[in-house]
A = this chain, B = another copy of it.
Amino acid sequence: MKMKKVAVILCGSGFKDGSEIRESVGVLWALSAEGAEAHCFALDAPQSDVVNCLTGETVPGEIRNQLVEAARIARGNVKPLSELNAADFPALILPGGFGAAKNLCSFARDGSAGTVDPEVQRVLTAFRAARKPIGAVCIAPAILALAFRGASLELTVGAKSEASAEIEKLGQRHVVCPPSAAHVDEKNRVVTTPAYMYDSAPLHEIFEGIRSLVREVCRMA
């Protein structure tokens, strides 16, 4: 049996300014366990900011590139997002982290008034048009909410929150879901899991939720 190739979009390396490291590794681990082949991509562009993850403070003047930092998680095996052709992959997964809401779209700053990076929008539109499954972890469902306004996607970002309210304003349906589970929108072929939206959840429960997400995405792929 040929291995399924799944595209993964990273956006730096770190929960405050890039991809959430643990969620990203969880996705790669679960894909490996499912016998799928992960192919990582990232924008070859600066992060929206650099945050000292010890103090939580923005580092003035420092610039880090999303692709270069994502290579820390991807062990060097990451390509520019411009090279991602939906025709080559039966499925797509977006891990979370603040970078997902700052580098891939402007949801962190603008909420439901936000915009999606054009390259990210191109990729998402192509996967959706081909009815290929898309998985999104943590806050990454907000990117789908912005990219497909008014599509009535069933999405979870965990409990009810300011983020879930903004997602509903975009014409999507928010579903409450615990960190150890994933929500499947069979009709729209979208799978989401809240992960560190529950920021004190035990890591092995978050990995259970990510494992479920990956299993469902691979089933639909």
Q: A interface vs B, CB < 8 Å?
A: 13-16, 18, 21-22, 25-26, 28-29, 32-33, 52-54, 56, 67-69, 71-73, 75-76, 78, 196, 199, 202-205, 207
**Least Cβ–Cβ distance between A169 and chain B, in angstroms:** 29
Residues from chain B with Cβ under 8 Å of A69 in the complex: 53
Nearest-neighbour CB distance to chain B for A87, whole angstroms, equals 25
Q: DSSP majority for the A interface?
A: helix
- Nearest chain B CB to A208's CB is how many angstroms away? 10
B residues within 8 A CB of A28? Answer: 22, 203
B21 touches A202 (CB 8 A): no
Closest Cβ neighbor of A54 among chain B residues: B71
Chain B residues with Cβ below 8 Å from A32 are 202-205
Beta-carbon contact of A72 and B203 below 8 Å? no
Among candidates B21, B53, B67, B204, residue contacting A21 with C-beta atoms closer than 8 Å = B21
